[in-house]
A and B are shown apart, each in its own frame.
Chain A
Amino acid sequence: EDAGEARALYEQVRILCWVMTGPRTLETKARHVRATWARHCNVALFMSSEADERFPAVGLPVQEGRHQLYWKTIRAFQYVHRHHLGQADWFLKADDDTFLVAANLRWLLAGHSPERPIYFGKRFKPFVKQGYMSGGAGYVLSKEALRRFVAAFASRACTHTSAVEDLALGQCLEKVGVEAGDSRDTWGRETFHPFPPESHLTDKFSQSFWYWSYCYYPIVEGPQCCSDLSVSFHYVSGEQMYALEYLTHRLRPYGYRPRYRP
C-alpha cells in the first residue's frame, strides 16, 4: 500500500476538527468519535459546557441545550481562533453523531486557498440568498472565513440572532462576504450528508419531507446520492462509527479498480 498522496495532503491541507458535544454525551457518543475519525484530523477538539481534563474536552462558558447551540458555536470558534489559529488551514465543526472522512475533506479543499473567504458543507437553499450549510452534516471554514466570523462578533457586525446555529452562522457569513462553496465531487455528487448512509442509499424520502425543499442542489436517491469520496454522514450511532471506520479505512476489495478515479 502506498499512502504517499494521503500523507502529503495531511501536511498541506491541515484540518482542525472541533466536535460539538456535552457532559451527557461525552462518554456515550464523543468517545466513539475520539476512537475513530477524530484521529485523522490534524487537530481534534471536543467542545462541551464542562471542561474534562481526562477526555480531554474544552469547557465553554455556555449552557447545554438546543437554545444554546449558536452560542456554543460562537464560543467554540472564538476559542479555536484564539488558541489554535496557527495550527490549521481549515476549521471544521461536527456533531458527536457525525461521521467524517478527513482524507476526503482534504481532497475537496486542496484546490482552494485557505486565505480565500469560503466555507463548505451540505448546502441548503432557504432563508439565505447564497444558501447555508447544514449543521449536522458538518461544515468547514477557511482560515480567512474564521477570521471574518470572529472579527464580525468583535465588531458586532454579527450578533447572536437565533438559536438555529447553522442558519444563523450562514446569515453572518454571507454578511461578511464569505462564499458558500459547492462541495460536490467532479461527477456532481454530494459529499456532505445530513443522514446516515442507509437513508441516502435506500430510503425514498416522501415528497412532503422538508428535505426536498431545503437542498440547494437536486436530490439524488439511491447509489448516486453519494460520492465515493464522501466527507460526512449524520445521525450515526456509536456502533456505526466503528462500522463505517472499518468499511472506509480497513475493508477493501482486493485488486478492484473503482469506477470513479478523479
Chain B
Amino acid sequence: MISESSSFVKGVVLGGAFCVVVTLLGHIKVGHGTKAHHHEHHHIQAPNKEDVLNLSEGERMELSKSIRVYCIVLVKPKDLGHWAAVKETWSKHCDKVEFYSSENVKVFESVALNTNDMWAMMRKAYKITYERYKDEFNWFFLAYPTTFAIIENLKYFLLKKDPSQPFYIGHTVKSGDLEYVDGEGGIVLSIESLRRLSRVLEDSDKCPEQGGMIWKLAEDKQLAICLKYTGVFAENAEDSEGKDVFNTKSVGALIKEAMSTHPQQVVDGCCSDMAITFSGLAPNHMHVMMYGVYRLRPYGHTYNDALVFLPPTGSDND
C-alpha cells in the first residue's frame, strides 16, 4: 500500500512539474505580474464635430502638419502585386512610408529584415523605426499589404489625442484575457507606446523573440502581450455612432454582410463615413478604392473641416 501511494504521489508531482514546464514554455503568463486593469473593453472615439469649428485656414494647416504619421508596411516577395498597389495608392499619403521586407527584392526599395518570421519582422521593423524616426514622427501606423488606409481619416481620428500618452489603437479582438489589435486592420502606436515597446523588446522574459516553444502566437497577439507589460492597452477605434473605423474586411465583404443582416439599411448599416482601413483587398481593388475615396464624389457639397490636406506631389490617381 505504501508503494502504491508513493507512486501516486510521484505521479502527481511529475504531472504538476510537467504542467509548470509546459506553462513556462508556452509563456502563458498574461495577467500575472502586471497590475491588471479591470477594463473589459477599451473603446476610443473620434473627435466631435463641434471641437473643430472656428479655426482660420492658417491654423488648420498648422494643425494638419503637426500630426505626422510614419507608415510601416510588412511585405514578403510573394506579395509583389499587393506591394506595388500599396506603393502606387494610399501609402503616398503617409508623411513617410517604408516597406519592411523579409528579404531584399530587386524591383522595389525596402528595408530588408532578413527573416521570414512575422513576429521577428515586426520586432525588427519597430526597433529600426524607433531608432531612426523617434524624433521625426509622433504616430506610427503598421499595415500588411492587403490593407487600404485613408491616412487623412487617421489624422482626423488622432486630432485630439496626445502622442506622449501610450496609445495602441485599431480593430481589437478579445482572446481570453488578452485584448489585441488585429494586424489585418492596421496597428497605430503613439510615440510613447513605441518608446515603451522598444524597451520591452530587449526583455527576453517578457517579450521573447521566440513566441513560444510549444505553439506560436500570431505576431499581433505577441505585440499586445509585450505592450501590456509596459502598461499599454489596446483600444478599439469607433466613430460617434459606435461603428468601427478600422476594418479587417473589404467594403465588398462588409456590404455583403449588411445585405443579409439588414437588407433595408445596407449602406447605413455597413461602414463608417470616416473609415480608416479596409483589408483583404486584391491589388486592383486598391486602385478602385483610390478612385472611389479620393476622387469620385457628388458635385455640390462643401465641408468645413478642421484639417487641410493637399494632394501629394508626383501623383495623379488622387
Contact = CB atoms under 8 A, between A and B. Distances in A.
Interface of A: 1-9, 35-36, 40, 101-104, 106-107, 197-198, 201-202, 222-224, 226, 228-230, 238-240, 242-260
B309 interface: yes
Contacts of A243: 251-252, 255
Given A228-B295, A253-B153, A202 B255 contact: no
Interface in B264-296: 266-267, 270-275, 284-285, 287-296
A239 B252 contact: yes
Q: Find the residue from B284, B299, B307 having the highest chain A CB count within 10 A.
A: B299
Interface string B72-110: 000000000000000000000000000000000000000
B275 to A, nearest CB: 6
Interface of B: 60, 64, 150, 152-153, 155-156, 251-252, 255-256, 258-259, 266-267, 270-275, 284-285, 287-311, 316-318
A229 B293 CA distance: 13
Contacts, number: 161
A246 B298 contact: no
B135 to A, nearest CB: 25
Given A106-B300, A244-B296, 6 more contacts: A5-B300, A107-B300, A242-B258, A246-B271, A247-B293, A247-B296
A228 B316 CA distance: 12
Contacts of B298: 6, 40, 101-104, 248-249
Contact of B308 (A36, A247, A257, A260): A257
Nearest to A257: B310
Contacts of B307: 254-255
Nearest to A40: B298
A226 B316 CA distance: 12
Contacts of B273: 250-252
Contacts of A245: 267
Contacts of A197: 288, 291-292, 296
Contacts of B155: 254-255
Contacts of B255: 239, 242-243, 246
A255 B306 contact: yes
Q: Find the residue from A2, A240, A247, A253 having the highest chain B CB count within 10 A.
A: A253
A9 B292 CA distance: 23
A252 B317 contact: no
- The 9 A-B residue pairs whose C-beta atoms are closest, nearest first, are A6-B300, A247-B292, A103-B298, A255-B307, A223-B317, A5-B300, A107-B299, A253-B152, A254-B156
21 contacts: A6-B300, A197-B288, A198-B285, A202-B287, A222-B317, A223-B291, A223-B317, A230-B296, A240-B252, A246-B271, A247-B251, A248-B298, A249-B267, A251-B150, A252-B293, A253-B152, A254-B156, A255-B156, A255-B308, A256-B152, A257-B309
A234 to B, nearest CB: 15
Contacts of A1: 301-304
B64 A255 contact: yes
A255 B152 contact: yes
Contacts of B275: 251
Given A2-B301, A201-B288, A247-B251, A253 B296 contact: no
A6 B294 CA distance: 19
Nearest to A224: B316
Contact of A248 (B266, B272, B290, B297): B297
Contact of A239 (B256, B296, B297): B256
A5 B303 CA distance: 12
A87 B309 CA distance: 41
A195 to B, nearest CB: 12
Contacts of A3: 300-301
A8 B301 CA distance: 11
A102 B297 CA distance: 11
A215 to B, nearest CB: 20
Contacts of B284: 198, 201-202
A154 B7 CA distance: 107
A259 B301 contact: no
A67 to B, nearest CB: 33
A238 B134 CA distance: 47
Q: Find the residue from A103, A239, A246 having the highest chain B CB count within 10 A.
A: A246
Contacts of B302: 1-2, 4-5
A242 B288 CA distance: 14
